[in-house]
Amino acid sequence: MLYLFSKNDIKTFSKKITAEDIASFDSGIVHPVYSTFALARDAEWSGRLFVLEMKEEHEEGIGTFLHIHHKSPALVGTEIQIVSSFEEVTAKGEVITSFKVFANQRLLAEGQQGQRILPKEKIKQLFSSL
């Protein structure tokens, strides 16, 4: 694993909320707003932006935890920004980042997530033992 970042280094990405991001299940649409589960996917991606630059060719990231405090809704068509901050690499090799999600200056969500960088072969072995 390459280690390139310092505490509080930032990665930011933007996206527009689409119909695929709204809260819906097999029973139908719950609310026509940015769902917590879509937010979770995007929060994981924000941490993966660091992992992509840290991992070596024979390695891959795997999620270890995700904490989300969803504070405010966002409608379809809203442009959001996700700002991820590098926190640390733990002794176990876990990459910890925190994130904040904004629509303009309004805070939609915040939280923390972790990903461990492991050799691809180790991940393959873990999955085959399930």
**What would the pLDDT profile of 94-128 be if each residue is shown by its tens digit?**
999 999 999 999 999 999 999 999 999 999 999 99
State residue 41's pLDDT score: 96
Listed residue (95, 106, 82) closest to 5, CA to CA: 95
Q: How confident is the model at residue 25 (pLDDT cuts 50, 70, 90)?
A: confident
10 Å CB burial of residue 78 (0-12, 13-18, 19+) is: middle
Is the pLDDT at 3 greater than 80? The verdict is no
Is the pLDDT at 1 greater than 80? The verdict is no
